[in-house]
Amino acid sequence: MRQTVVMIFLIAFFLALVPRTDAQGPAPRSGAATPLKDIGDLIVGKWTGEGTYSADYPGVGKKGEKFTSTSTCRWTAGQAAITCEGRENTSTWTSLYWWDSGSKEIKVIGVNPGGNFDVGTIAKQGAKLVWASAGSFADGRRVEYKYEVTFQDNGNTRVETGATILAGVRNEFREIYKRVAK
């Protein structure tokens, strides 16, 4: 299962790097203005925070268990993508964000060593970010995430509020992160 998740991540990463030359024109050059730049301006940096697992995450944590988190988000591939890597208690995770000029959406894929993954979109709506993604836990359960991110303290405090959805049941969460380096 881990090999499958890693393969999906690598395929998505390399597809994000393939130049486009279809009827919509070439892909944006590095540093060109895309909605990804707006997202990157908000999330790139090193963050620390804490929260409580809203569901059982195989190989990661149990529902109700508190966690502390450290993550670093950085530009990669000539600013065509953002990678975020983090640690929550003893588990790690990686996410990749890129602008899909075909669908006109920012795509995201996330994986962790527990064998859990999700794929979705992120959009900036006013001053907040809106996430929607779906995937699978290692135990085969389908998972969805729907949440919003707001920023306070001149962009140095990030508040994530939403739900992990399993079998149609919303498991609400609220997590707070502080930027410790830009």
Say yes or no to pLDDT of 13 above 70.
no
Question: 17-43 pLDDT, tens per residue?
Answer: 444 333 333 344 444 578 999 999 999
Q: Where are the beta strands (DSSP E) in 23-168?
A: 25-26, 45-52, 66-76, 81-88, 91-100, 105-111, 117-125, 128-136, 142-152, 157-166
Whole-number average pLDDT of the chain: 86
Q: Are 119 and 109 in contact (CB under 8 A)?
A: yes
Q: What is the pLDDT of residue 23?
A: 32
Give the rounded percent of residues in the chain with a pLDDT score beyond 90: 81
Q: What is the pLDDT of residue 34?
A: 83
Q: What is the pLDDT of residue 32?
A: 56
Question: 128-178 pLDDT, tens per residue?
Answer: 999 999 999 999 999 999 999 999 999 999 999 999 999 999 999 999 999
Say yes or no to pLDDT of 7 above 60.
no
Q: What is the pLDDT of residue 5?
A: 43
CATH code of domain 2-17+34-181: 2.40.128.20
Say yes or no to pLDDT of 79 above 80.
yes
Confidence (pTM): 0.82
Q: What is the pLDDT of residue 93?
A: 96
